[in-house]
A and B are shown apart, each in its own frame.
Chain A
Amino acid sequence: MDRRSALKRTGILAGATLALPTALSLLQACQSENRPEWTPEFLTAEEALLVSSLVDTLLPRTDTPGGLDVKADMFMDKVFARTYDAQSQQYLRENLASLDEACIAGYGEAFADLGETDREAFLKEEEARGGSFNPGVWGTSVGEQEPVSFYRNLKSMVVWAYVTSEEVGKNVLSYDPVPGAYKGCIPLSDVGYRWSL
């Protein structure tokens, strides 16, 4: 690590530590009562703050549940803990740190500490340089895949955690475990939100 990154890294850690109580209380305030205590399996407190804030910004509560309501962040932590090997976990930590580092470099504070406007401004930059996933055919992506950013991968995981949660899968999306028939051409208005399964 060169001097510059070392300084930046120190900065982010200091920033995160200082910001911790504020951010935690903010987060707790906007969360539903069904998650009073959460001890992440894998993420550190700072990392958990970043992931939870990202989930909340990407999929906020509206008239439908938000990402935090369905514990998308808690599920992601479990996935990091139990399905990533040691090397992937290491990359993940480095990437989460770099993401917040970039946020601090541009906006002066860790992502969790930013106001809504700054969060959106920061994510717009990430979106613009995120790349995109190629289409998939039967379980694997096809074609020559250009690099996709860590942020875009994380966003993809947030979506997965959200739509495969029981609350969204059963009560928000259109849920029909045993359709009984295939109808190949019906008005979208007969269904509404997309099929969950």
Chain B
Amino acid sequence: MANYNIDARKEMTYDAIVIGSGISGGWAAKELCEKGLKTLVLERGPIVEHVADYPTMNYDPWDMELREALTPEEKQKHYKGIRSGFIGKSVEHFFANDQENPYTEVKPFLWIRGHQMGGRSLLWGKQTYRWSDLDFEANALDGYGVDWPIRYRDIEPWYTHVEKFAGISGEALGLPQLPDSHFLPPMELNCVEKHVKSRIEDQFPGRHMIIGRVAHLTQPLNGRGQCQYRNRCSRGCPYGAYFSSNAVTLPAAQATGNLTIRPYSIAQSILYDEAKGQASGVRIIDAETGESMDYHSRIVFCNASTLSTTQILLNSKSNRFPEGMGNDSGELGHNLMDHTYRIGATARVPGFEDKYYSGRRPNGIYIPRYVNVDEASKSKDFLRGYGFQGGGYRGGNVANSQKIGAGFKEEVLRPGPWEFFITGFAECLPYHENKVTLDTTNTDKWGQPTLAIDCEFKENEKALNRQIRKDAVEMLEKAGLEDVMGFDNEHEPGYGIHEMGTARMGRDPKTSVLNGTNQVHGAKNVFVTDGACMTSSSCVNPSLTYMALTARAADHAVSELSKFNI
């Protein structure tokens, strides 16, 4: 793939504008372009051409002068993001510059951003799970938040649609709380994982341990190569084996001839035509020149990532929307959610000393939710539920060894002991008071208001976390593992990098920002299909649902355009 059309100067009017080129923006671009719409994608960072712009993709540690270590300047550039533990030399260029893109933590909140073409689709964990009616009915059943305007049957065909193109590997299980996807062959469990799986499934009826369902190809698809098990995904995959906008959706959009992508374009606001009662385009700031300009279109898809999307909507003020576009309800910016993160247990696995594995599998095990899935599994301590990711591997920190000399070196060179960990992801309730607001006193280098994030986990999340830790320890102990250690790193929200909500879908314009097809109440030609639209958070990873909602909304948008309804 080469030669994106980036000349957006000669044409200021398009059928559609998509703000953002990450997981959901890439899907919007592909679907709209394939349906014949001349589409402009606005990307606030640089072009990242598949393969050509993956500078570190083949680096071994010694190919980098300081290996994965960062200089003080690089650490300063990522002074917030570095808390995640994910930023090393080989990937730091795909993490946004925290100094140039400030935000205020009213309460501690980690906001990880990817400001380049492809956004965080280059960096994501690739765990892909369908949501179920357990999720879509959750708010209606316990009264937190508002009811989702859709159910599983509404999104089911769109899951299939995106899965067939994205390529999801996994194993069918037939669980109602975790519906099966359209699967490529699953990756393999290793011997220790198989052992732990059978021990846990024997002793805990209703619990399952499966290989993670992931957006990695286990066989070639549409010209993309299959996973080569290098586990260097976040540097960009030369084989296009994992799903990213760069390798998958944007090349497809480009192939139609309908795509223009404009890099270094910060969406400042969505323009509103008071006479027509619809959006008319997007005002951008050129990140390099500081110049402001307006692009026009019949529809706008806002896919800047959860909080950036809401930032743009809050900043889109007009006579009709003095408090931000679509904010009649006062809910814009509210109901921010994430998943709780890094609570679980680790252990040492006795035996299997003569067994090993080959290949670096970019995936681990998954234990689907088993609490509050029916009457029998109902908890009296908390609402909603959690699932676990984890895995078994030969590791151990050899620096803990008390040996020195030749014996120590031998220990350094030999595979360490087998270890096993599981770590939970819990659903977070939508609370009105967990919110973001525009901060007009602290502006960024382009003079734009920044975000103030005021969000915390509350009693239900803490109760879920206590149970996660307890269950994790119990499962690993009953599986016969040793030195079991429970942990809860008590991370603030944001660490899950699953931020959701702040422009929620709903049935009633008085209590929600978007309708059941992701259209902004009061500006029906504006669609929000990234994480901002989420009405609840489930406990499973959300990206696949963003993809499906985007394809569904794009289909609806084109249908409404053809009927001249928008």
Closest to B421 in A: A137
Chain A residue contacts of B10, Cβ below 8 A: none
In B52-96, the 8 Å CB interface with A consists of: 58, 60-62, 65-67, 69-72, 75, 84-86
B60→A182 contact, CB < 8 A = no
Instruction: Flag whether B565 is at the interface (Cβ < 8 A).
Output: no
A186/B414 contact (C-beta < 8 A), A82-B71, A85-B72 known: no
A98 touches B (CB below 8 Å): no
Asked if B357 is at the interface of the complex by the 8 Å CB criterion, the answer is: yes
Q: Are A182 and B359 in contact (CB under 8 A)?
A: yes
Q: A177-B230, A181-B359 are in contact. Are A133 and B404 (CB under 8 A)?
A: no
Known: A135-B485, A143-B487. A181 touches B229 (CB 8 A): yes
Q: B402-448: which have CB < 8 Å to A?
A: 402, 404-406, 408-409, 412-416, 419, 421, 423
Say whether A184 contacts B191, CB under 8 Å: yes
**A160-171 contact mask (Cβ, 8 Å, vs B): 1 or 0:** 101111100110
Contact assessment for B394 and A194 in the assembled complex, using a CB-CB cutoff below 8 Å: yes
From residue B72, how far is it (CB to closest CB) to chain A in Å?
A: 4
Residue from B194, B355, B412 with most neighbouring chain A CB atoms (10 Å): B412
A79 lies within 8 A of B69 (CB)? yes
CA distance A191 to B72 in the complex (A): 38
B555 contacts across to A, CB distance below 8 A: none
Which segment, of B26-34, B126-134, B182-190, B536-544, faces chain A?
B182-190
Interface bits B168-190 vs A (CB < 8 Å: 1, else 0): 00000000000000000001111
The proximity string for A residues 67-84 relative to B, scoring 1 for CB distances below 8 Å and 0 otherwise, is 000000000001100111
CA distance A183 to B86 in the complex (A): 26
Do B413 and A173 have beta carbons less than 8 Å apart? yes
The answer to whether A127 touches B402 (Cβ under 8 A) is yes
Q: Does B346 contact A (CB under 8 A)?
A: yes
Do the beta carbons of B415 and A194 come within 8 Å of each other? yes
Q: Do the beta carbons of A58 and B400 come within 8 Å of each other?
A: no
Interface footprint category on B: 35 or more
Cross-interface CB contact of A159 among B71, B188, B398, B487, cutoff 8 Å: B398
A180 to B405, CA, bound (A): 36
Q: How far is the CA of A83 from the CA of B72 in the complex (A)?
A: 6
In whole angstroms, what is the CA distance A126 to B271 when docked? 66
Would you call B406 and A185 a contact (CB within 8 A)?
no
Tell me whether A180 and B359 are in contact (CB under 8 A).
yes
Give residues 87-122 of A contacting B (CB, 8 Å). 120
Q: Is the CB of B357 within 8 A of A182?
A: yes
Q: Judge whether B522 is part of the interface by a CB distance below 8 angstroms.
A: no
> In the complex, what distance in Å separates the CA atom of A128 from the CA atom of B65?
34
Complex-state Cα separation, A170 to B62, whole angstroms: 10
In the bound complex, residues from chain B placing their C-beta under 8 Å from that of A165 are 62
B376 within 8 A of A: no
A197 on the B face (CB < 8 A): yes
Q: Which of A127, A144, A190 has a CB less than 8 Å from the CB of B356?
A: A190
Contact B413 A179 (CB under 8 A): no
Q: When A162-B412, A187-B354 are in contact, do A132 and B405 touch as well, CB less than 8 Å?
A: no
Is B489 located at the chain interface by the 8 A CB criterion? Answer: yes
Check A179 against B358 for contact (C-beta < 8 Å): yes
Minimum distance in angstroms from B252 CB to a CB of chain A: 26
Q: Do the beta carbons of B400 and A133 come within 8 Å of each other?
A: yes
Asked whether, in the complex, the Cβ of A182 is within 8 Å of the Cβ of B229, the reply is yes
A166 to B359, CA, bound (A): 20
The answer to whether A31 has its CB under 8 Å from any CB of chain B is no
A142 touches B342 (CB 8 A): yes
The interface bits of chain A over 131-149 (1 if a CB of B lies within 8 angstroms of the residue's CB, else 0) are: 0111111111011100000
A127→B404 contact, CB < 8 A = yes
Which residue in chain A gives the minimum CB-CB distance to B189?
Answer: A184
Q: A57-B405, A155-B399, A185-B190 are in contact. Are A194 and B228 (CB under 8 A)?
A: no
Q: Check B193 for interface membership: any CB of A closer than 8 A.
A: yes
**Is A6 interfacial (CB 8 A cutoff)?**
no
| A123 CB–B CB distance under 8 Å | yes
B465 to chain A, nearest CB (A): 13
Chain A residues near B188: list those with CB within 8 A.
Answer: 182-184
Closest to B231 in A: A197
Assess the B397–A135 pair: CB atoms within 8 A. Answer: yes
Instruction: Assess whether B360 is interfacial by the CB under 8 Å rule.
Output: yes
A144 to B486 alpha-carbon distance, docked (Å): 10
Contacting residues, chain A, for B346 (C-beta < 8 A): 135, 137, 142-143
- Cα of A82 to Cα of B73 in the assembled complex, Å: 10
Residue from B65, B399, B408, B416 in contact with A152 in the complex, judged by beta carbons closer than 8 Å: B399
C-alpha gap A120/B394 in the complex (Å): 29
Q: Is the CB of B404 within 8 A of A82?
A: no
Please, which residues of chain B bring their CB within 8 A of the CB of A188?
A: 353-356, 415
Q: Which listed residue, B69, B193, B355, B413, touches A193 by the CB 8 Å rule?
A: B413
**Which of the residues A59, A152, A191 comes within 8 Å of B412, measured between beta carbons?**
A59
Point out which of A134, A142, A177 has the most chain B C-beta atoms below 10 A from its C-beta.
A142
B353 adjacent to A169 (CB under 8 Å) = no
Q: Which single residue of chain B is at the shortest CB-CB distance from A193?
A: B413
**Contacts beyond the supplied A62-B409, A140-B489, A191-B356: 9 A-B pairs with Cβ under 8 Å:** A60-B406, A60-B409, A79-B66, A85-B75, A128-B402, A138-B86, A142-B346, A179-B358, A187-B355
28 of the cross-chain contacts (CB-CB < 8 Å) are A58-B409, A59-B408, A59-B409, A79-B66, A79-B69, A82-B69, A134-B485, A140-B342, A144-B487, A159-B398, A159-B412, A165-B62, A166-B60, A169-B60, A182-B359, A183-B188, A184-B194, A184-B357, A184-B361, A187-B354, A188-B356, A190-B358, A191-B415, A193-B415, A194-B394, A194-B414, A197-B230, A197-B360
Taking beta carbons and an 8 Å cutoff, which residues of A are in contact with B? 57-60, 62, 64, 66, 78-79, 82-85, 120, 123-124, 127-128, 130, 132-140, 142-144, 152, 155-156, 159-160, 162-166, 169-170, 172-173, 176-191, 193-195, 197
A-B pairs, top 7 by smallest CB distance, nearest first, are: A139-B85, A184-B190, A182-B359, A156-B399, A185-B191, A140-B85, A179-B359
